[in-house]
Structure 1
């Protein structure tokens, strides 16, 4: 639920320290969520002096509604992506996603607080028998290109789980994380003398690029940067033209803790082939987090009654998969969710600007996209060639 509405007075009485406006930063990032945090982390490793501007408070947007599934498989299957952009680029993109999960683990291990990063396999099951040929084709494609994958028949599923479907892909190398602890852990790391200045409750009202940098106008003054990165999540990106994206909303629940989850094979991440899809995972305190029921409106739902009703529907779907467990919803929420029209994120330099960049991790793999995008932008800003930038550029 929203805790307040309208224009607040008290936050305006605490101004950012004026001396922070007197220096020019190597990079300024607009957005204090997961994308902004990971981008700042990558740039700081290069020795760059970074500032982050967040118009709310850190991790107060989509990051607090993130369900924390980290997978290299995408909403678009590899064989479908190959048809879309070609075999080499598709395989490279899937490899980038797999590498990003590994990089996320390295970040997690470097933080002052544990974000509950745990390696998991994923179970991607056929929602109906009609989807089995597509799953088998995807298995063959992943296997041929060296990705860690198995295929389970209905019997093999029944041997390992309390539910069985016509077939399932099992991918290895995925993970789960507490996204809120993760993103706040990154900011704690950055605040600890890591050449990072953070401006909260400060909005960028105008941006002007010039020959040697970018001026970012705010109500408190002008912040100067050599480079600017927009990491604004699902809010409208300040582009001259709209990128191909579709912003809608989704729902999720967290159950009460469950005493025994031993029937959940390796506590794998689970999702299905139909669209919109149900997905679920467990937590370190034995809850189940599950989500789905995507719908068209872009704004997060305001009705508590509607959120509870959608949450109960998700609860029933989880109960069908695990009939012997006592599934009881404890938390329910709805949030904006964005995906691009071609199922790939938008990452890279503005088509018409030299010093302005974007990190828009649209899709179900938003955190993974943010990690791979942070590394692409690190290379571009540092002047290193990155051939993979072509796959996700804004004007593709």
Structure 2
């Protein structure tokens, strides 16, 4: 399955070739990570920092899956609002999950600062505006839920929005502690760092089956059989090995990157991340070289369109959304692409042990906060492997209320 199609932007911002050391496979690994994108890189980083012997394998090239199409907005607020999540799983669990996301952004910053290459990680506030008048009540409820539970947030009226920004919206929330990054640079910087630390990488290595052994798992590939005490599957939106049903709905979305813009700072106060209450929602951010990256127009179709004319039409629609917000800017689209993304049916990621196979783990960060989920998931996986009790794991485990446990017969 193709994960994206079109002209991508992020892969123009760094060296085209990622040079990883070619190493002979070890007789055994403490952990093999299946998937060399954002989730896999963060998982390998977290495990390697604990001194574990780690290998990462990908059926394609490292850092060239869905991470290339990631728009790089890092937010603790989720596609489901906090007050809505409270209704779904209870106030205590919902607040705990949101706090986990806040801490994950802090952790993400720590990782970025530990690397030896630039990642364009910058802290930003987020502006979440009401798309239409009836959504004001939603924002008022969300403000109350966030404020009462200690999340830094300001409520802006329509007049306050229009005084700060060149557009008027019925109301908005201004939240703090979010960030932006260049996902391409970030993942490659992690992989380069890990390569220098002795982590083994195997590109073009597809996992065909996972066989349980008394003391570990045999990972079968066309290149041979690898042995590990633990296996962590971090395959993004591709079908994860070992699960027949992953509890996710696949859709497709569109994104654009503009040409560099003059007067961006004057028009866009503090270059906040921007999104809205409408579903599917429009979202946008800026880049280090003065571009706007924007996305939206989600469609309930599980494959990308290999149709340049369709992508061009969607890009024009996204451009018009940008022009409506920033009419003073000379907005010209330079890159446009479509990408597959996945959403879990209860709006939470799937992270943790396979319900029946205790040495097999999954980090599947479905939803709009995939990078945040990847970060918190890497720590949950680490703690589970090291035998540390972690109540957070219960919130995101694979088999949970409202979700059918995966069918595993075919993967035995």
- 2:231 equivalent among 208, 228, 232: 228
Q: How many angstroms does 1:18 deviate by? A: 10
1:1-396 alignment runs, 5 A limit: 1=5, 20-192=24-196, 194-261=197-264, 262-396=266-400
- Runs of 4+ with deviation above 3 angstroms: 16-19
SS in structure 2 opposite 1:395?
coil
Structure 2 counterpart SS, 1:20: coil
Q: In 2, distance between residues paired with 1:43 and 1:329?
A: 40
Look up the SS of the partner of 2:372 in the other structure: helix
TM-superposition CA deviations, 1:241-276 (whole Å, max 9, x none): 413211011000000100111121100000000100
Aligned residues: 383
CA contact (8 A) 2:23 2:200 kept: no
Quote how far apart the aligned CAs of 1:201 are. 0.8
Question: What RMSD, in angstroms, separates the aligned Cα atoms of the two structures?
Answer: 1.5
Aligned counterparts of 1:149 and 1:385: Cα–Cα separation in 2: 32
Cα distance in 2, alignment partners of residues 63 and 116 from structure 1: 15
Query: Per-residue CA shift, 1:35-63, capped at 9, x if unaligned?
Result: 00000011011111100010100111100
Structure 1 residue aligned with 2:10: none
1:305-329 C-alpha deviation (Å, 9 max, x unpaired): 1111111100111100111111110
- Please list every run of 5 or more consecutive structure 2 residues that lacks an aligned counterpart in the other structure: 8-19, 401-412
Unaligned runs of 5+ in 1: 4-15
Query: TM-score, normalization: structure 1?
Result: 0.95
Please tell me whether the aligned partners of residues 247 and 344 of structure 2 are also in contact (alpha carbons under 8 angstroms). Answer: yes
Q: Compared with structure 1, are the counterparts of its residues 279 and 251 closer, same or farther at alpha carbon in structure 2 (3 Å cutoff)?
A: same
Superposed CA offset, 1:324-377 (max 9, x none): 111110100001011101110000000110100000000000000000000000
- Report the alpha carbon displacement of residue 210 of structure 1 after superposing the two structures with TM: 1.3
CA contact (8 A) 2:207 2:241 kept: no
SS of 1:317's equivalent in the other structure is helix
Contact 2:210 2:242 in 1 (8 A): no
Query: What's the offset of the Cα at 1:19?
Result: 7.0
Deviates more, 1:302-311 or 1:250-259: 302-311
**What's the TM-score once normalised by structure 2's chain length?**
0.91
